[in-house]
Chain A
Amino acid sequence: MLKYENNIIFVDLIEGYITMLREHNHQATLSRVAISVLLALGSTLAFGSNDDPFFDLDLQEVLNLEITSVSKKPQTVSRAAAAVFVITSDDIRRSGASSIPELLRMAPGIQVGQISNNTWGVSSRGMDGRFTNKLLVLVDGRSIYTPTFSGVYWDVQDTVLADIERIEVIRGPGAAIWGANAVNGVINIITKSAAATQGGLVEASAGSSDRGTGSVRYGGKVGEIGHWRLYAKGFEREGSLVESTGARGNDFWQQQRVGFRTDLTPSGRDAVTVQGDFYEGRSGESAFLNKLSAPYNILTGTTQTVSGGNLLGRWQRDLSATDSFTVQGYFDHTKRDWPAHVNEVRTTYDVDFQYRTKRLSGHDLVIGAAYRLSEDEMSASYTGIPSNTLQFSTFIPASSSTSLYSVFIQDDISLLPKELVLTLGTKLEHNDYSGLEHQPNAKLLWTPSETTTLWGSAARAVRTPSRIDAGGMVNQTVLPPFTSRNPLNLPVLITAQGRVETETVVAYEAGWKQRITPTLSTDLALFHNRYTDLRTGLFGTAVCQPSGTPVSTFCFLAPGQTYVQQPTSGGNLAVGQSYGMELSADWRVRPDLRFQFAWTELRIRMKEEPSAFTTDREGSTPKHQLGLRMAWNPRSDIDVDLWLRHVSKLPLIAEGVPTVPAYNEADIRLAWRPSKDLELALIGRNLLHKRHKEFASELLDVQQMQIERAVMGRLSWKF
C-alpha cells in the first residue's frame, strides 16, 4: 500500500506542475501542489513506517500472537437486504450471560422481558408476551417454536454457550424462506462446527442466584474425514422474589443435558452434520391458580417436569461450481408436565430440501420444499395441586397429528453487477388449520460502494393458528366475589373459546448500513407493519352456572348457582399498525476498546371491533430501548466488560397487571486469563437495583416477580 499510494500521489504532484505550467494560474495550482505535498508527506508519515512488525516474526511466532478478542466481528458492512444483527461467540463470552434469552437483549428491535428466573417473554418488533407468537426461533435449522400455544419454551433451550458460533437476529418477516410465524422476526441460533470445538472445555460457575452450573465438552477427530464433540451440562438456579410478599419464589430452575455434534466431509464437495441433544429438568413457578370455591385465587409453588430430545442430520453437496443442494431431516420429542396448564407430549418430524443454482447468469436461485409432521397428546395436569384447581387450558381433541408442507423459491437477480440486487421470493405453505398460505417478499439491495448498503423490502407473512387457537378452551382467571373487579356475590370465571384464524402482516422496511470510518459502522432500519385479522377475544353474555341463564336476569341471587361465567369468544377482530426504528453502532476505538450501541424506537396502535380486545397488547411494548456495551482489554489477559440498558415503561401487559415502570440496568464482567487455557471471570448482573420488575405473564398464571441483582464467579478451563 505504501508504494502504491505514494505512486498515485507522486503522479498527482506531477500533474499539478503540468497544470501550473499550462494554465499559468499560480493561485489555484499552488494550493493544489501544497495539498499534494502535504498528502505525500502525510502518507509517508502514516505508511512510511508501516512496516508491520508482524511480518518480521517467523511462522510459529505469528501463530502464537494473541488476538485481542474485540476484533472478532468482521468490519465489513453487511450486504444483507434485511435488518440483521449478529451476536458473535465473542459477544456471548463477554456478556457473562448464562442463558440464551439474556443474550438476545443485545440485538436492537428485540424485547426480552424476564417474567421469572426461568421464564421470559421474547419478541421482535413488539407484542411481547410469555406466549409471543410472531417470532420464529431455530437452533441449527431445527424449529423450536411450539405449535401448542405458539411461542418458545425458553426454559428448555440451552447448550454450552461457548459452543454457539453466532446468533443471527433477523427482525421483520422472514416467512418467504422460513415460513409461517416468522411474522416479526427470525432468530437463528447456530452452534460451532465440531472442528471448531476440538479438545476439552470445562466451565463451572456459582453465585447468588446460580447454585451451581457445570459443563464439560470434549471434541476429537473421526479418522481423516471429520470431527465430533460431546457435551454434558447441568445447572441449578434459585428463584426470584414474589413482588407482593418479597419472599423467595418457587421459580427455581434445574436441568441437565447431554449432546453431540459430528461434522464430516467425506469428500471435498460433501459436508454432513449429525447432531442431537437430550435433556431433562424441572422448572418451578410461583403460580397464580384459580378455583371456583374460596379462596378462589391460590398463590402456590408448582413444578413443571420437562424432558426432550432431538436428532438432526444435514447433508450439503456441491454439484458443480454453480449448483449445490442441502437435505436436512430432524426428529424432536418433548414432554412437559405443567401443573394446571397441560401435560403435553409432542413429537415432530421434519424434512427439508433446498437446491441452489447460479447457473443462470445474474441469478442466484434457491428453491426448496419441506414437510413437517407434528403429533401431540394433551391431558390435564394436577401434579402437586388440588384436583379442584381450574386448568388454564383444555385442548380439543386431546391428541392430534398435523402436517405442514411447503415449497419456496427465491431469486437474487443482479440488476447491476455487484451493486444492485433484486430479490424476489415466496413461500407457499399448507397447514391443517387454515389451508394454503402464500408469503411473498420483494427486496432491493443497493451497494453503491464497499462501505454503504441501502435496502428496502416489502413482505407478507402470516401467523397460523396454534393448537390452542384451533380447538382449545382457556380458563383465564377467577375474580373473587365482592371485590373491586367483581361486585357480585358469586365468583366470576373468565373463559375463552372459539376458533382463531390466520393473522397477517404486510411489512415495509428500509435500511442503511454504513461504514463511516474503518472502525465505526452503523446500521439503521426503519419499518412499518400493517397487521390484519389479529387474534381477539369478544366478550359474550355473562351467564350463571350451572343454570346458564344470563346475569341480567339476576340469576346470581337464585339458589344453587355457584359461579358466573364471563365467556369470550376467540376470533380475528383487530387490526394494527406499528412503526419503528432500530439503530446500532459499532465503534472500535482502539484494538483493545470497543463500544456497541443499540437503540430501538417502536410505536404500535391497535384497533379492535367493539367489545373485542386483542391479545397483542400495545402496552406490552416499550417505546424506547437503549443498550450500550463496552469491551475493554486494559491488558491482553484482562477483559473489562460493561453493559448498560434502558427499557421504557410497559403500560399494560394484560388487564390486571399494573404498569411496569421504566428501568435502567447494568451488567459488569471482569475476566482474567492467568494462562492461555484458563479464564476466571467475575460477573455482576442487574447491578443498579437490588431487585426490579421486568415483565409478567399475560395469562396471569404466574405471580408478579422481581428479578434480583446477581453476582457470580465463572471458571473456564481448556485442555
Chain B
Amino acid sequence: MRSFRSLATAALSAILLMSANVWAQTVPREERIKAALLFKLVKFVEWPATALSGSAPLQLCAFGNSGVADALAAADGKPARDRIAKFRKPDSLSANDLKGCHVLYIPAGTRDIASGVPPTLRNRGGGLLTISDQPDFARRGGMIGLSQGENKMTFEINLRIAREAGIEPGAPLLELATVVD
C-alpha cells in the first residue's frame, strides 16, 4: 500500500512536471513575438498623468486565455519605462475589472470585440491602451492592431482613438506603425 502510494506520488509529480515543461516551451513563437512587441510598445507611449502617477506599477492586462497572455506573464516585475511592470488577467471587460489597467490585450476572436470595440474600452481621457490581434482592430474602435505582415509582425495605430483616451503614441512608434486614423 505504502509503495503504491509513493509510486503514485512519483508518477503524479512526473506528469505534472512534464506538463509544466511542455507548456512553458510551447507558447507559439508568434504569440511570444506579439507579447514582446506589446511590452516594447509601452516604452514609446505617454499616459495621462491621471492614469499613471507616482511610482505605481504599469499594469499590463491580458483578457482571456491566450498564448500572448502566457508569454506576457513573464514580463511581470520587469522594468518598464521608469517603473515596474505588473501583469494581470482581468476577469471581464467591465470597467470595474479593468480598473488600474494601462494596457489591455484582447485576443483575436474574443466575442466582445467581434463587431468592433465597445465604447466602454475607449473612455475619453481614460488612459487605457487597447491592443489586439483581431483583424482590423485599429479600424474598428481599437488603438493598436497587431497583424502579420511578410512573415513579420506589424501594427496599426488609430491615433485619433488613442488621443481621445488621452494616450499619446510617441514619434518613433508612429514611424514604425501604419497609422489608420
Which residues of A approach B to under 8 Å, CB–CB? 1-4, 27, 31, 34-35, 38-39, 42-43, 45-47, 50-52, 54-55, 57-60, 62-72, 74-76, 79, 165, 193, 195-196, 224-225, 263, 265, 268-269, 271, 316, 318, 320-322, 324, 356, 364, 450, 517-519, 588, 590-591, 673, 676-677, 718
Contact A50 B74 (CB under 8 A): yes
Give Cα A363–Cα B56 distance, bound, in whole angstroms: 39
Give the distance to chain A from B114, nearest Cβ to Cβ, in Å.
9
Cα A519 to Cα B41 with chains together (Å): 28
Bound Cα distance A50, B40 (Å): 18
Per the 8 Å Cβ criterion, residues 156-173 of B in contact with A are 156, 158, 160-161, 172-173
The one of B6, B12, B74, B179 in contact with A51, judged by C-beta atoms closer than 8 angstroms, is B74
Q: Does B174 sit at the interface, judged by CB under 8 A?
A: no
Are A271 and B139 within 8 A (Cβ)?
yes
Given the interface contacts A35-B13, A193-B135, A324-B116, does A62 sit within 8 Å of B36 by beta carbon? yes
The answer on a CB contact under 8 Å between B29 and A67 is: yes
Q: A60-B176, A195-B139, A318-B116 are in contact. Are A2 and B107 (CB under 8 A)?
A: no
Known A34-B13, A42-B21: A676·B150 in contact at CB below 8 Å: yes
CB distance from B84 to the nearest CB of A (A): 12
Closest B-chain residue to A32, C-beta based? B9
Contact status B70-A1, CB under 8 Å: yes
Inter-chain CA distance A628–B5, complex, in Å, is 42
A69 to B29, CA, bound (A): 9
Please give the distance in Å from A315's CB to the nearest CB on chain B.
13
In the assembled complex, how far is the CB of residue B136 from the closest CB belonging to chain A, in whole angstroms? 6
Residues of B within 8 A of A676 (CB): 150-152
Contact, CB under 8 Å: B29 / A68: yes
Shortest distance in angstroms between B144's beta carbon and chain A's nearest beta carbon? 12
A31-B9 contact in complex given A58-B40, A271-B136, C-beta closer than 8 Å: yes
Q: Which residues from A are CB-within-8-Å of B35?
A: 52, 54
Q: Are B76 and A2 in contact (CB under 8 A)?
A: yes
Q: Do B26 and A588 have beta carbons less than 8 Å apart? A: yes
Question: How large, as a class, is the contact surface on chain B?
Answer: 35 or more
Select which of A1, A35, A59, A263 is within 8 A of B74 by beta carbon: A1
Residue of B28, B70, B153, B161 touching A591 (CB-CB under 8 A): B28
Contact of B37 among A59, A76, A318, A677 (CB under 8 A): A59
Give the residue name and chain of the A residue nearest to B133 (CB).
A74
| Residues of chain A within 8 A of B21, CB atoms compared | 42, 45-46
Q: Which residues of A contact B172 (CB under 8 A)?
A: 59
Instruction: Contacts A51-B74, A224-B181, A265-B180 given; indicate if A519 touches B26 (C-beta within 8 A).
Output: yes
B residues engaging A (CB < 8 A)? 2, 5-6, 9, 12-13, 16-17, 19-24, 26-33, 35-37, 39-41, 43-44, 64-67, 70-71, 73-78, 87, 107-109, 111, 115-116, 118-120, 135-136, 139-141, 147-148, 150-154, 156, 158, 160-161, 172-173, 176, 178-181
B71 smallest CB distance to A (angstroms):
6
Closest 8 CB pairs of A and B: A1-B73, A71-B28, A54-B36, A321-B118, A42-B17, A46-B24, A38-B13, A59-B40
Interface contact B73-A4, CB-CB below 8 Å: yes
Report the bound CA distance from A588 to B118 in whole Å: 34
**B160 A268 Cβ-Cβ under 8 A:** yes
- Chain B residues contacting A268 (CB-CB under 8 Å) are 140-141, 158, 160-161, 181
Q: What are 27 pairs between A and B in contact, CB < 8 Å?
A: A3-B77, A4-B76, A4-B87, A38-B17, A39-B17, A46-B20, A52-B32, A52-B35, A54-B36, A57-B36, A62-B37, A62-B40, A63-B154, A63-B176, A67-B30, A71-B29, A74-B66, A75-B67, A193-B136, A195-B178, A269-B116, A269-B141, A271-B140, A318-B141, A321-B119, A356-B115, A718-B150
How long is the Cα–Cα vector from A35 to B7 in the complex, in angstroms? 12
Structural contact, A27 and B41, CB atoms closer than 8 A: no
Q: Which residues of B contact A42 (CB under 8 A)?
A: 13, 16-17, 20-21
A58-B40, A65-B153, A518-B67 known; 7 other A-B pairs, CB under 8 Å?
A34-B13, A39-B17, A67-B148, A74-B107, A225-B181, A518-B26, A718-B150
Residue of A nearest to B29 (CB): A591
Contact of A324 among B74, B115, B180, B181 (CB under 8 A): B115
Decide if A55 touches B119 in the complex (CB within 8 Å).
no
Shortest distance in angstroms between B2's beta carbon and chain A's nearest beta carbon?
7
Known contacts A67-B153, A269-B141, A271-B136, A3 near B13 by CB under 8 Å: no
- In the assembly, what is the distance between CA of A224 and CA of B22, in Å? 45
Question: A364 vs B111: C-alpha distance in the bound complex, in angstroms?
Answer: 10
For the complex, what is the distance from the CA of A51 to the CA of B35, rounded to whole Å? 12
Q: Are A27 and B139 in contact (CB under 8 A)?
A: no
Q: Which residues of B contact A72 (CB under 8 A)?
A: 30, 148
Q: Give, as a whole number of angstroms, the nearest-CB distance from A80 to chain B.
A: 10
Distance in angstroms between the alpha carbons of A71 and B30 in the assembled complex: 6
